[in-house]
């Protein structure tokens, strides 16, 4: 097979495992479940789940039934919970694949109960309580109605009562305490045996937020759960592109689409084969920075679909050969930093990772060299 030499995405499963252990160490007795929706935040459902299973993780959350069925195909023993719960018609798939639906409304409770009653088999389920996201979950009135009408839960075996914090990455935000109080008030009457409130950042709000289970996604994958403080998590991804060309550009020569960058001095411009088609967001035009060896260089001009242009005037020529690797993400430019440059959050940088990269998984027992 002849050599093909494109941009590379390296995913450190050992770092994912280390992050799992770090988060677990904050939890005392509570279980740590892993959130692996959106293809494990873009990092690859199969390899990520295998690495987490090796580390002792037994419970996984995904968003949709389709994701859960895919996960069940490789993990016959895992506990798989589905945040969105069943859409009408999906109930059979939940039972067939032993998926635990999160029921987010009285209507979903009624549908699931009716389905399980109809086939004469009790079904496991979680109940989500909305404590402030106004997104999914039972409101206070729904909780009261459910608590007063046990027949609504006919044929349902409850597992978790859960909710979701809106501002957990801001520890001083008043909503955290309000949501905690609302969760305690709502979860009690429902009568579920286990409670879960915290995601990655919530773990760091204190033990009163831990209950029986925390559900970590972002922090497992290296995003900082405590913004403004040093990141306790290990970086998981590294992205390296290759220099295709370096050119000298005179003053007043424009760069890229729409001529959005104009050189203000004689400059050297390097073109690298990574673009927004790879998930390096177009918002990073004239805003992102990348690294050549230890040299930080700015993106100049608009990021295009397959190419990004860099001002490499201050980089030694020895580091500017055709094929020279350039770090678009890595030890010196973690995902959170790229997100800040792009005006978004690290989550979106991860889920945007494109399919053109040559993906390499390192670390983890299943990948030990």
Task: Name which of residues 263 to 322 contact a copy of itself (CB under 8 A).
Answer: 269, 271, 273, 276-279, 281-283, 301, 304-307, 309, 322
Of the two residues 207 and 358, which places its CB atom closer to a copy of itself in the complex? 358
**241 is a contact residue toward a copy of itself (CB under 8 A):** no
Backbone angles phi and psi of 160, in degrees to 5? -105, 145
**251 is a contact residue toward a copy of itself (CB under 8 A):** no
Continuous segment of H or E residues that includes residue 147: helix 140-148
Of the two residues 15 and 243, which places its CB atom closer to a copy of itself in the complex? 243
Q: Are 133 and 197 in contact (CB under 8 A)?
A: no
Nearest distance, CB of residue 303 and a copy of itself, angstroms: 9
Of the two residues 215 and 363, which places its CB atom closer to a copy of itself in the complex? 215
Q: Compute the radius of gyration of the chain from its Cα atoms.
A: 24
Q: State how beta strands 308-311 and 267-272 pair.
A: antiparallel
**113 is a contact residue toward a copy of itself (CB under 8 A):** no
Of 20, 37, 276, 361, catalytic: 37
Q: Which long-range contacts (CB under 8 A, 24 or more apart) does 309-316 make?
A: 309/255, 309/256, 309/261, 309/269, 309/270, 309/271, 309/272, 310/269, 310/270, 310/271, 310/272, 311/267, 311/268, 311/269, 312/246, 312/268, 312/269, 312/270, 313/265, 313/266, 313/267, 313/268, 315/268, 315/270
Burial class (CB in 10 A: 0-12, 13-18, 19+), 140: middle
Binding residue for a copy of itself, selected from 140, 244, 287, 319, defined by CB under 8 A = 244
Residue 37 is a catalytic residue: yes
**55 is a contact residue toward a copy of itself (CB under 8 A):** no
Binding residue for a copy of itself, selected from 145, 253, 337, 359, defined by CB under 8 A = 253
**126 is a contact residue toward a copy of itself (CB under 8 A):** no
Nearest distance, CB of residue 159 and a copy of itself, angstroms: 20
Binding residue for a copy of itself, selected from 242, 295, 337, 359, defined by CB under 8 A = 242
Question: Interior CA angle at 280 toward 305 and 289, to 5°?
Answer: 115
**In the window 79-98, what residues touch a copy of itself (CB under 8 A)?**
83-85, 87-90, 92-93, 96
Instruction: Locate 65 and state its tokens.
Output: 């039934």
Rounded Cα–Cα distance for residues 159 and 165 (Å): 20
**337 is a contact residue toward a copy of itself (CB under 8 A):** no
Of the two residues 104 and 163, which places its CB atom closer to a copy of itself in the complex? 104
Binding residue for a copy of itself, selected from 220, 237, 249, 312, defined by CB under 8 A = 249
Of the two residues 34 and 281, which places its CB atom closer to a copy of itself in the complex? 281
Q: Which residues are catalytic?
A: 37, 257
């Amino acid at each position: 097979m002849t050599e093909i030499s494109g941009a590379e995405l390296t995913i450190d499963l050992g770092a994912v495992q280390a992050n799992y252990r770090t988060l677990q160490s904050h939890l005392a007795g509570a279980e740590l479940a892993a959130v692996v929706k959106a293809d494990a935040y873009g990092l690859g459902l199969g390899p990520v789940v295998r690495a987490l299973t090796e580390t002792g993780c037994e419970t996984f959350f995904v968003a949709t039934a389709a994701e859960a069925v895919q996960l069940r195909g490789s993990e016959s023993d895992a506990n798989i919970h589905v945040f969105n719960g069943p859409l009408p018609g999906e109930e059979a798939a939940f039972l067939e694949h032993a998926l635990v639906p999160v029921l987010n409304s009285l209507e979903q409770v009624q549908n699931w109960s009716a389905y399980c009653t109809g086939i004469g088999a009790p079904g496991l389920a979680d109940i989500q309580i909305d404590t402030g996201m106004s997104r999914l979950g039972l409101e206070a009135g729904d909780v009261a109605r459910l608590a007063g009408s046990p027949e609504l839960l006919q044929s349902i075996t409850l597992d978790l009562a859960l909710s979701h914090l809106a501002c957990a990455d801001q520890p001083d935000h008043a909503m955290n305490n309000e949501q905690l109080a609302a969760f305690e008030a709502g979860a009690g009457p429902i009568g579920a045996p286990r409670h879960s409130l915290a995601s990655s950042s919530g773990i760091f709000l204190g033990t009163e937020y831990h209950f029986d289970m925390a559900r970590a996604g972002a922090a497992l994958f290296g995003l900082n759960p405590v913004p403004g403080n040093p990141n306790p998590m290990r970086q998981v991804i590294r992205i390296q592109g290759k220099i295709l060309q370096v050119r000298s550009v005179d003053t007043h020569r424009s760069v890229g689409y729409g001529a959005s960058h104009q050189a203000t001095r004689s400059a050297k411009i390097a073109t690298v084969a990574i673009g927004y088609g790879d998930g390096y967001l177009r918002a990073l035009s004239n805003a992102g920075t990348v690294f050549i060896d230890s040299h930080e260089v700015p993106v100049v001009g608009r990021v295009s679909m397959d190419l990004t242009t860099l001002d490499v005037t201050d980089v030694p020529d020895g580091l500017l050969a055709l094929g020279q690797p350039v770090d678009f993400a890595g030890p010196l430019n973690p995902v959170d930093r790229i997100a800040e440059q792009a005006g978004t959050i690290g989550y979106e940088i991860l889920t945007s990772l494109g399919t053109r990269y040559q993906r390499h998984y390192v670390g983890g027992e299943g990948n030990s060299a």
